Amino acid sequence: MKFMIGDLPVLFPYDRIYPEQFSYMSDLKATLDAGGHCVLEMPSGTGKTVSLLSLIVSYMQFYPTKRKLIYCSRTVPEIEKALAELKRLMEYREEMGAKDEEFRGLGLTSRKNLCLHPEVSKEKKGKVVDSRCRDLTSAFACEKGRANPGSVPLCDYHENLNNYEPGNLIPPGVYTLDDVKKYGQEKGVCPYFTIRRMMPYLDIVIFSFHYLLDPKVAENVSAEMSKESIIVFDEAHNIDNVCIESLSVDLTRPMLDSAARSVNKIGDKIEELKRTDAEKLQNEYEKLVAGLQEANEHREDEDMLTAPVPSAKLSEDMVDEAVPGNIRKAEHFVAFLKRFIEYLKTRMRVLHVVAETPQSFLAHLKEITYIERRPLKFSAERLTSLVRTLELTNIDEHYALQQVVGFGTLVASYEKGFMLILEPYETEHATVPNPIFHMVCLDPSLAISPVFERFSSVIITSGTISPLDMYPKMLQFQPVMEVSYPMTLQRNAFFPMVITRGSDQVPISSRFEVRNDPAVVRNFGSILIEMSRVVPDGIVAFFPSYLYMESIVSAWYDMGILSEVWKHKLLFVETPDAMETSIALKNYREACNNGRGAVMLSVARGKVSEGIDFDHNYGRAVIIIPYQYTESRILKARLEFLRDNYRVRENDYLTFDAMRHAAQCVGRVLRGKTDWGLMVFADKRFARQDKRSKLPKWINQYIIEAHSNMSTDMAVSLAKKFIRQISQPFDHTQTGISLWTLEDIEDRQRKDREEADRALRALGPGAIQAQAAEGMQLDREIDGDAFAPVEDDMDYGDDIDDEALVRAAELHGMEVESG
Amino acid sequence: MAVDEDYAPEADDINIDDDEDDIDRPGPSRQRKGKGRANGQTGGDGMQTWEGAYTRSWDVIQEDDEEGGLQSTVEKLLARGRRKRAMAGEGPIRRSIIRHMFIILDLSESMRDKDFRPTRWEVTLQYLRGYIGEWFDQNPLGQIGIVLMRDRLSETLIPMGGNPQEILAALADKRKLEPSGEPSLQNGLTMAKGGMGHLPVTSSLEILVIFSSISTADPDGPTSIQQTMKDLVQSRVRTTIISLSGEIKICKQISERTGGKFGVAMDEDHLRELLWETIPPPAQTIAAPLTVGVRNALAAGGVGTGAGGRNKPAPAGDLMVMGFPVRLPLGGETMCVCHGILKKGGYLCPRCGSKLCDVPTDCEVCGLMVVSSPHLARSFWFLFPVAEYGVTPADTVQEDHTSRRLEPTCFGCDDPFPLLDEIAVSAGVNQVDEAVSPTGRYRCAKCKNDFCVNCDIYVHHTLHTCPGCAQ
């Protein structure tokens, strides 16, 4: 269908539209017009991606300024889904006669997913693929190979790329990852490098968060994006954690050992090179003296070895600074690294927990080893340059060294927002020390601030991103729009309830102090038994942590609760092992399909809770035993930081974090408007309004007071009733109520306009004049555009009527369903 | 006459839901129904309060105006019934009147659940007995067998047969029907399908599953329930599943793929409604090439196995072989072919002359379908349904009144209709639904006689013939 939002004609690839989608698109447009950032929450399964894409594509194509869309999603399947949706949209646009000839949309993912090389592609680990690929495609290898064919193995797929004209490696259009692979296979070119080299020419890029947020990668991939680009972070409810992870480094003892070995190897290599080709080292030295940055030369080849610090931060210091003298010579640098690693090793021998700021770490470092801050800061860059000079292959061997150097650079670069924590024991009760040195980033805004600074419009959206005001606070930006949309449903397709007491009236809580109390454990068990008796097909239960799940499951086994559940459903358990979990999931699905029914016990924040959908019969009920946090030092440090710097109270943050995970878990079972499911919150703390209000609006609107404080037996009989009711045959045509046709949209727009008029009239005649003038101006601006047939004499209020649409259609020879 | 005297709102407020369903229900069941409910309630009285479910009785009643009247609610329910019937349509549908049905009864532990009063088990058995009678009443040519599922096994309670007495006798012994363990839907379906293997393809094969459990515990064998479902689809066994607990994916899938219905019973009465919905013969959805076999067999003068001739499409109006038996006098005992025991009386197959105990049945020896002519005649009402009575609007009545053609009473029961001025007052106030006549009159399009709402229901559900047209 085609409709107008303001002056923008939007092509939407379906005949009907959900009301949420319409308001989502309207708000999106307002944000883009204003050129600011926004936070939007829209329930899962209501077509967020397609609304986003269709509005933004229409926007890009309608207005003359060439804007680029960078769409970031979380996982490869999601990227793939978005690409498929985009492809469909573009096909539809073509059908409708929109002119998008030179339109390109591609997705980017890791080499591992795209590689075509007969041997390399068989490698299982992403890192190995990366490094082997790099060996075959790096600049010096290519040079050598071309000069002297056969001397160095090269990748044919990569070489073949040179036969094509740089800006036109792939014909215009939208390609899914599979399409690109197929294309690469046909033409014998490398899909990964095709995409990488096409980046500057693309209109839409779809890739994962890390390509923008992780400074190690962002530098290379996203540097050439123009300022006008529209950035979208989809499924962004965890964006702060992604930011933090991308700036945090963990070091362990084995890593240090491995790094030490790497340094020795590099040292040997330098010795060797000295004997054979001393001139080369001298050249490098000269260059460094001159302060030349050769970073720009072969950008794409070395994305693993750049400094893990946002470029903005680095460049401001580096503009007038060169690599300091004491690490310019290769052998000096090696000695420097050795010292640094030895220092870290001694630190790790400590058997008590240490938490300190980067400053105190640096001071101590200087005292013991005379390593200063400045050389440390440049160590990452120095290593990159050294690796290039030495023409090292098999870079993944030096992974540990990279981490160590990255650690050093981070410590030296940031004074605030970081914390060093040394944990000698893995768990509280462990006796064998296994020290981990965490360099923890506490401030998520550090990683994302370059994005906000560089790009004019950043859109953060997800199905569960409440409370909305938390994100701007944590990420330090000013949104022009923060909206959470309710979900319009023709019938109450999901049924949230809060169970606060067991049938024996003992309060249910997963609070740390009481959660191992047998009565509480039994009550959780009885909820599971009752629910498995009542709910057909699949049930998903979420626990706060693996540890707690293990303890509770073994307690249940002793109490005979598991054997009760077995009568009705099979039991599957998520484990930290991805392989095991995926087998469990496969069998779980089969059990749901065969009518046996199954319960999946999984962990909130685990793999299952984040990425896997339990739609329809795979999840008819979700039970959440949530709301608990480990007493980890990292979390404590983070809480303190948030309190001191952003005035976010500890409890607020904890509630927020717990609630967003609860919402995320709950959202797993409801994946669209035809789906239905029960949501059981088993914790008495959910009965409190202040906690519940932090849940997304679309969930909250269905929690009624009567269902927010129930005992198990009440909940079960209500659940029974609900399931029977929802199982009744139902007419799924939702037209008019939760599905709009073109007329419905126009109707709504007319109403909105009347509303606005009335408001204006109330303001007085002056306001109307101002508005009219504004409208005229708008018209004139649009006139120049080929796609805007809005006539001069048309006044502002009428630009959405049918006539205009029809005229537009006639002009461009397309069909519009009018009336 | 099946008038619902207890319809007055003051009679029994809470049971308003029950009354609703009375209207939708086919007529003859009405007498038995009263008894059924009484039983159910005495059973319920035996329960302790704390055993009951958590109910909010105030949710059940829907009041329509500020005085708390229930009139419009009642009318809404009435209208629903009428609309439903109207939607069923009167177009010519080809129905399979020779039905073979296996009832698969879930006797798992979940049948002891008390959410239906007194238990699911009692309610189901009781309804089932009523159902069997009603079913044979309306499908005299049909046959029913019963399969039980419990302890993950399936057992045949009674094989396919056309004698309601035998089936009822088998259902009467409750001790043999004690629920236990878990059900295996796959085993049940496989057994039922196996029990129908010998049947000629001319008949409509059906399975009705009453499924109480929330899951099915199927054997871990080489074939899964998915395979069983495919088999059912292939052999065209229409499978209807009534669940007592909720929408289970596999059940829904099976019913949808095999062309049956899937229903979830909300409460006792809804269960009854769902059950009774399966009583009228199903429309033949597949253009049956099956009877071709019979034609060929007939042409060959041989045995009607229906095995051959699958390749030709079916011409409209097919023929099939049936025989009308000779009834034996109740003299000495002779051996029957169906049970192999000595029995008095019985029937002789007209083709091969073997002795059968009961009709209708398929002859064990030659496979001929043996029926008696009254059975055949009784199956006919579906072929000539009574046309739906139209709603008579107020202005038509006014017109008739002025032309003095208006009857003051119902043609069926002689109850007086509301007077015209009364109608004028209430018109527009209580107009609930277009399916409900504002004048209380329902008119037959053919004979132009007016009937009251109760007669309308009686004529369409029980009588199956319009008294006005018959005159």
Residue-level length of chain A: 819
Residue B103: inside a domain, yes or no? yes
What is the rounded CA–CA span in Å between residue A205 and residue A220? 15
Q: Is the domain of B360 the same as that of B457?
A: no
- Quickly state the pLDDT bin for B292 (edges 50, 70, 90): very low
**Cβ contact (<8 Å) for B214 and A713?**
no
Q: Is the domain of A175 the same as that of A95?
A: yes
Whether the predicted pLDDT of B271 surpasses 80? yes
Whether the predicted pLDDT of A808 surpasses 70? no
Q: Do residues A524 and A508 touch, judged by C-beta distance below 8 A?
A: yes
Comparing CB atoms, the residue among B54, B110, B217 nearest residue A596 is: B217
Q: Is the domain of B226 the same as that of B97?
A: yes
Q: Is the domain of A427 the same as that of A454?
A: no
Q: Is the domain of A428 the same as that of A511?
A: no
Q: Is the domain of A83 the same as that of A212?
A: yes
Residue-level length of chain B: 471
The whole-number pLDDT of residue B206 equals 92
Residue B442: which CATH number?
3.30.40.10
Residue A457: which CATH number?
3.40.50.300
Q: Which residues of A23-33 are buried (b: 16+ CB within 10 A; e: fewer)?
A: bbbbbbbbbbe
| Range ranked top by mean pLDDT from A781-790, A797-806, B30-39, B56-65 | B56-65
Residue type, A232: V
Helix (H) or strand (E) holding A795: none
Strand partners, B115: none
Beta-strand ranges (E) seen in A319-382 are: 354-356
The whole-number pLDDT of residue B372 equals 85
The whole-number pLDDT of residue B145 equals 94
Residue A638: inside a domain, yes or no? no
Comparing CB atoms, the residue among A532, A534, A725 nearest residue B266 is: A725
- Quickly state the pLDDT bin for A565 (edges 50, 70, 90): very high
Whether the predicted pLDDT of A335 surpasses 80? yes
Domain count, chain A: 4
Residue B190: inside a domain, yes or no? yes
The whole-number pLDDT of residue B157 equals 93
The encoded tokens of residue A490 equal: 């023709």
Angle formed by the axes of helices A239-246 and A445-454, nearest 10°: 110
Which domain range does residue B361 map to? 326-383
Comparing CB atoms, the residue among B214, B218, B247 nearest residue A534 is: B214
Cβ neighbours around A174 below 10 Å, total? 24
Q: Region A618-625: what's the mean pLDDT?
A: 90
> What is the DSSP code (8-state) at residue B462?
I
Residue B24: inside a domain, yes or no? no
Q: Is the domain of B394 the same as that of B369?
A: no
Comparing CB atoms, the residue among B215, B251, B264 nearest residue A728 is: B264
Bigger pLDDT: B287 vs A227: A227
Q: Is the domain of B153 the same as that of B243?
A: yes
Chain Cα centroid distance, residue B244: 17
Among A57-66, A77-86, A299-308, A733-742, which is the least confidently predicted range? A299-308
Residue among A131, A132, A135, A197 nearest A162 (CA) = A197
Q: Region A574-597: what's the mean pLDDT?
A: 91
Residues A186-231 have pLDDT tens digits of 888 888 888 888 888 888 989 888 888 887 777 666 666 778 888 9
Whether the predicted pLDDT of A604 surpasses 70? yes
- Quickly state the pLDDT bin for B55 (edges 50, 70, 90): low
The answer to whether B218 faces chain A, any CB pair under 8 Å, is yes
Q: Is the domain of B344 the same as that of B213?
A: no
The whole-number pLDDT of residue A587 equals 93
Looking at chain A, the number of H-run helices and the number of E-run strands are 33, 21
Helix (H) or strand (E) holding A105: strand A104-107
The answer to whether B109 faces chain A, any CB pair under 8 Å, is yes
Whether the predicted pLDDT of B47 surpasses 80? no
The encoded tokens of residue B230 equal: 């495919």
Residue B138: which CATH number?
3.40.50.410
What distance in Å separates residue B270's CA from the closest CA in chain A?
11
The answer to whether A723 faces chain B, any CB pair under 8 Å, is yes
Whether the predicted pLDDT of B95 surpasses 90? no
Residue A735: inside a domain, yes or no? no
**Cβ contact (<8 Å) for B115 and A720?**
yes
Residues B336-393 have pLDDT tens digits of 888 888 888 888 999 998 888 887 888 888 888 888 888 887 777 666 777 788 888 7
The whole-number pLDDT of residue B212 equals 93
Among A38-52, A198-212, B457-471, which is the least confidently predicted range? B457-471
The whole-number pLDDT of residue A376 equals 87
Q: Is the domain of B364 the same as that of B405?
A: no
> To the nearest whole percent, how much of chain B has pLDDT over 70?
68
Q: Is the domain of A505 the same as that of A417?
A: no
Choosing from A461, A484, A507, the residue where a domain stops is A484
Q: Is the domain of A477 the same as that of A622?
A: no
Choosing from A699, A726, A753, the residue where a domain stops is A726
Among A181-195, A690-704, B146-160, B457-471, which is the least confidently predicted range? B457-471
* Beta pairing, strands B347-348 & B326-327: antiparallel
What distance in Å separates residue A504's CA from the closest CA in chain B?
13
Residue B237: inside a domain, yes or no? yes
Bigger pLDDT: B44 vs A706: A706
Comparing CB atoms, the residue among A596, A724, A729 nearest residue B218 is: A596
Residue A667: inside a domain, yes or no? no
Residue A671: inside a domain, yes or no? no
Whether the predicted pLDDT of B162 surpasses 90? no
Whether the predicted pLDDT of A787 surpasses 50? no
Q: Is the domain of A588 the same as that of A457?
A: no
Q: Is the domain of A282 the same as that of A221?
A: no
Residue among B156, B32, B51 nearest B114 (CA) = B51
The answer to whether B180 faces chain A, any CB pair under 8 Å, is no
Bigger pLDDT: B319 vs B66: B319
- Quickly state the pLDDT bin for A764 (edges 50, 70, 90): low
What is the rounded CA–CA span in Å between residue A167 and residue A126? 28
Q: Across all residues in chain B, what is the average pLDDT?
A: 75
Q: Region B206-223: what's the mean pLDDT?
A: 90
Q: What is the ipTM of this complex?
A: 0.77
What is the rounded CA–CA span in Å between residue B45 and residue A697? 45
Residue A595: inside a domain, yes or no? yes
Among A47-61, A234-248, A661-675, A676-690, which is the least confidently predicted range? A661-675
| Range ranked top by mean pLDDT from A234-238, B9-13, B241-245, B321-325 | B241-245
Residue B181: inside a domain, yes or no? yes
> To the nearest whole percent, how much of chain A has pLDDT over 70?
86
Q: Is the domain of B244 the same as that of B209?
A: yes
Q: Is the domain of B412 the same as that of B349?
A: no
Q: Is the domain of A455 the same as that of A601?
A: no
CB within 8 Å of A375: residues ≥ 6 apart: A324, A326, A327, A336
Residue B88: inside a domain, yes or no? no
Residues A522-534 have pLDDT tens digits of 989 999 999 999 9
Residues A675-698 have pLDDT tens digits of 888 999 988 888 888 888 888 888
> What is the DSSP code (8-state) at residue B100?
E
Q: How far is CA A612 from CA A76, A622, A668, in A?
A: 12, 13, 7
The answer to whether A720 faces chain B, any CB pair under 8 Å, is yes
Q: Is the domain of A401 the same as that of A423?
A: yes
Nearest CA in chain A to B152: A567
Whether the predicted pLDDT of A630 surpasses 70? no
Residue among A713, A706, A703 nearest A678 (CA) = A703
Bigger pLDDT: A735 vs B110: B110
Cβ neighbours around B46 below 10 Å, total? 9
Q: Across all residues in chain A, what is the average pLDDT?
A: 81
Whether the predicted pLDDT of A170 surpasses 70? yes
Residues A376-397 have pLDDT tens digits of 888 888 888 888 788 777 777 8
The whole-number pLDDT of residue B75 equals 65
Mutate to test the interface with A, among B49, B50, B54, B227 (most CBs of A within 10 A): B54
Comparing CB atoms, the residue among A569, A724, A729 nearest residue B246 is: A724
Q: Is the domain of A719 the same as that of A759?
A: no
**Cβ contact (<8 Å) for A536 and B54?**
no
What is the rounded CA–CA span in Å between residue A375 and residue A323? 7
The whole-number pLDDT of residue B39 equals 41
Q: Is the domain of B347 the same as that of B263?
A: no
What is the rounded CA–CA span in Å between residue B114 and residue B48? 11
Domain count, chain B: 3
Which domain range does residue A228 map to? 2-245+446-484
The whole-number pLDDT of residue B13 equals 38
Residue B221: inside a domain, yes or no? yes
The encoded tokens of residue A322 equal: 């060169």
Residue B272: inside a domain, yes or no? yes
Q: Is the domain of B107 the same as that of B233?
A: yes
**Cβ contact (<8 Å) for B264 and A727?**
yes
Q: Is B120 helix (H, G, I), strand (E, B) or coil?
A: helix
Q: Is the domain of A722 the same as that of A751?
A: no
- Quickly state the pLDDT bin for A778 (edges 50, 70, 90): very low
Nearest CA in chain A to B115: A717
Choosing from B277, B310, B340, the residue where a domain stops is B277
Q: Region A286-312: what's the mean pLDDT?
A: 50
Comparing CB atoms, the residue among B185, B263, B264 nearest residue A595 is: B185
The whole-number pLDDT of residue B317 equals 52
Q: Is B151 helix (H, G, I), strand (E, B) or coil?
A: coil
Which residues of chain A have a CB within 8 Å of the CB of B247? 536, 723, 726-727
Q: Region A126-140: what's the mean pLDDT?
A: 82
Q: Is the domain of B172 the same as that of B232?
A: yes
Q: Do residues B65 and B142 touch, judged by C-beta distance below 8 A?
A: no
Bigger pLDDT: A508 vs B44: A508
Q: Which of residues 619-678 of A touch B (CB under 8 A)?
A: 620
Which residues of chain A have a CB within 8 Å of the CB of B225? 594-595
Which residues of chain A have a CB within 8 Å of the CB of B216? 594-596
Residue with tokens 């919402």: A663
Q: Is the domain of B413 the same as that of B378?
A: no
**Cβ contact (<8 Å) for A617 and B249?**
yes
